[in-house]
């Protein structure tokens, strides 16, 4: 039985999701290292670069570090910090907004061979002071729920699909902020892992300033 057909079908359907003509095409790249201290503790460092406006503009550069603890086989707890620099241009020149993000995750895993089901609950605090003079410090409080289904195939291939919803706390107009649907493939060989995926992102509220996004992503990680 060929189990790759459902994943391929879902990827095709996601790629064909309708959206306004103004939808932006973006490219997300990521590279990082994973250090397994022992069976329970893990440290990781990632660097992200994202490009928007149909992949013509640097949207953000984001280094990130995270530490996780796995007390049970099906449970992992993780805390992380991310710094984000978002360049923009004005009449005076080119500047960058800077943001800090703290996050705390609860991750659950359940296996029904050959599938793995994963759920991630994340609370994150994002805060920063935009470059424009006179603006106050901004804080964003967000809860994110993500569900993933992963299929184990021979030779280190792992097709997956996932869905995620963002709930912005303290914002009555944009409480349900946005959603994401993703489909892609992970390939693992020894200490090396390569990830490719397509993601569709859109708002859950009426915001003319939020354009739907078609995202192509590539990632590489080395584990030791």
Q: What is the pLDDT of residues 48-103, one digit of tens each?
A: 999 999 999 999 999 999 999 999 999 999 999 999 988 866 555 566 778 899 99
Nearest to 223 by CA among 187, 189, 191: 191
On whether the CB atoms of residues 45 and 32 are closer than 8 A, the answer is yes
More confident residue, 173 or 218: 218
**pLDDT per residue over 9-27, tens digit each?**
444 444 454 444 478 999 9
How large a percentage of the chain has pLDDT more than 70? 81
- The band of 8, judged by pLDDT with boundaries at 50, 70 and 90, is very low
155, β-bridge pairs: none
pLDDT mean over 148-175? 92
**pLDDT per residue over 109-144, tens digit each?**
999 999 999 999 999 999 886 655 556 667 889 999
Domain made up of 4-223: CATH architecture: Beta Barrel (2.40)
Q: What's the confidence (pLDDT) of residue 93?
A: 56
Is the per-residue pLDDT at 177 higher than 90?
no
Q: What's the confidence (pLDDT) of residue 23?
A: 87
The pair of structure tokens assigned to 161 is 């699909």
Q: What's the confidence (pLDDT) of residue 20?
A: 46
Burial 108-147 (b: 16+ CB within 10 A, else e): ebeeeeeebebebebebebebebeeeeeeeeebebebebe
198, β-bridge pairs: 183, 216
- In the numeric block, the tokens 């994963």 are attached to 118
The pair of structure tokens assigned to 216 is 């192509």
Task: Report the half-sphere exposure of 218 (CA within 13 A, side-chain side).
Answer: 2
How large a percentage of the chain has pLDDT more than 90? 68
Q: What's the confidence (pLDDT) of residue 19?
A: 44
- Predicted TM-score (pTM) of this structure: 0.84
Rounded to whole angstroms, the Cα distance separating 58 from 54 reads 10
Is the per-residue pLDDT at 212 higher than 60?
yes
Domain residue ranges in the chain: 4-223
């Amino acid at each position: 039985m060929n189990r790759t057909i459902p994943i391929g079908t879902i990827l095709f359907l996601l790629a064909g999701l309708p959206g306004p003509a103004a939808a932006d095409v973006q490219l997300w790249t990521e590279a990082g290292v994973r250090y397994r201290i022992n069976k329970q503790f893990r440290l990781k460092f990632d660097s992200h670069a994202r490009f928007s406006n149909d992949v013509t503009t640097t949207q953000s550069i984001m280094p990130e570090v995270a530490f996780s603890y796995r007390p049970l086989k099906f449970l992992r707890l993780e805390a992380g910090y991310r710094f984000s620099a978002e360049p923009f241009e004005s009449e005076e020149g080119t500047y960058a907004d800077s943001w800090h993000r703290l996050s705390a995750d609860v991750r659950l895993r359940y296996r029904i061979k050959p599938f793995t089901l994963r759920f991630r609950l994340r609370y994150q605090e994002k805060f920063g002071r935009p470059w424009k003079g006179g603006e106050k410090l901004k804080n964003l409080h967000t809860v994110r729920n993500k569900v993933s289904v992963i299929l184990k195939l021979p030779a280190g291939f792992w097709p997956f699909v996932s869905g995620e919803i963002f709930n912005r706390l303290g914002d009555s107009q944009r409480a349900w902020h946005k959603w994401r649907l993703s489909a892609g493939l992970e390939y693992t060989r020894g200490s090396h892992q390569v990830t490719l995926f397509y993601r569709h992102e859109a708002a859950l509220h009426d915001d003319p300033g939020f354009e739907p996004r078609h995202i192509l992503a590539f990632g590489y990680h080395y584990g030791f």
